[in-house]
Amino acid sequence: MPTCSCPRHSLLCIIPPYMLETMAGSSDPEVRDWAVRAIEASADARATRRTLRAMPAMAAAMSPGGERQRLVYDARHQGMSSLPGRLARTESDPKVSDAAVNEAFDHSGTTYDFYSTLFGRNSLDGNGMRLISSVHVGASLNNAFWNGQQMAYGDGDGRVFVRFTASLDVVGHELTHGVVAHECNLVYEAESGALNEHFADVFGLLVRQWKSRQTAARASWLIGREIIGPQCTARALRDFGPGLAYENDPFLGSDPQPKHMRHKYTGTDDNGGVHLNSGIVNHAFYRFARSVGGPAWKIPGAIWYEAMRKLSSNSGFADLVATTEMIAAARHGQDGTVHRALRQAWRDVGL
């Protein structure tokens, strides 16, 4: 895996650093330039993220009356320091001609409705936080960010990636980082950081499955397939299943995510493997959901949501295992099929 000197307080973004590092080593100068710009954009936003992580409640701008309120801005290809940009659509406005604005608006609304309908949660903080998004951030920017206060979406370069608002599970993933911040506020490094990414991946996928009414058996279990550009051979950014999301891609290389603890990444890149090692717990959730059957947002999703709320900022994999097993036993019986399926899923990935 390419090396990446990622600082401790990394930005919460959908494209992991190892992907950008691989692109930065491309023989194609245009691809190299796009990767460098994405890396620089991450660096520009880290100061805001570092400050807001320590006080997430202060970053939450309340909506009037505590009701759903979406605000979508057009950054007009300016950098992260110019956010949010020009207001392009509010909660009461009709659809506009800009597809990215409409996608950011619709997908953030679907994510809000998912948490509200299934868990009685009022926005990311549980108290009616405004959902603020900026589209057209940067020039051909290959990433989407949650900076602790709002969403920022790049348009992609048109070859490796296309606009990041196109994927509902990408939007759900990034907004879930906001939910995590207001619940257990998992430190973004090593196993706690991998759990942060894991919860974002799980609920990002469940938002899409819930919207599409897909069962665990019918769902694809791929993250970000809609943002893959026309010159990529990748199927998606990540795959919860046993396969690789991409292999020998001309720009991205091969998917390095492990699916078992025996292959856990133990180095310092990627903040100690936050995007890498999330693949282990992602695969456990996949195996559990497929074993239980039916819609994954019902039994598995409910157990995971409660577990997220019970964890602390420094929780690791063992804490998630113990907490989910406790919840499954309490809700479905110590010797019930749900608890047995969960224990087997954890064993299958070496936990």
Q: What span, in angstroms and rounded, lies between the C-alpha atoms of 41 and 173?
A: 19
Burial letters for 70-85: b for 16+ Cβ neighbours within 10 Å, e otherwise?
bbbbbbeebbbeebbb
Burial letters for 169-204: b for 16+ Cβ neighbours within 10 Å, e otherwise?
bbbbbbbbbbbbbbbbbbbbbbbbbbbbbbbbbbbb
Catalytic residue among 107, 173, 177, 275: 275
Would you call 275 a catalytic residue per the annotation?
Answer: yes
**CA 113 → CA 35, 69, 118, 196, 317, distances in Å?**
34, 12, 8, 21, 29
The CB-based long-range contact list for 240-246 (8 Å cut-off, 24+ gap) reads 240/201, 240/205, 240/282, 240/283, 240/285, 240/286, 241/283, 241/286, 242/283
Would you call 174 a catalytic residue per the annotation?
Answer: yes
Angle in degrees, 0-180, between the axes of helices 299-310 and 99-119, rounded to the nearest 10: 90
As to burial, measured by CB atoms within 10 angstroms (0-12 exposed, 13-18 middle, 19+ buried), residue 95 is: exposed
Catalytic residue among 21, 107, 173, 174: 174
Q: Which positions ≥6 away from 325 have C-beta within 8 Å?
A: 339, 342, 343, 346
As to burial, measured by CB atoms within 10 angstroms (0-12 exposed, 13-18 middle, 19+ buried), residue 94 is: exposed
Q: What span, in angstroms and rounded, lies between the C-alpha atoms of 268 and 293?
A: 37
Residues marked active site are found at 174, 275
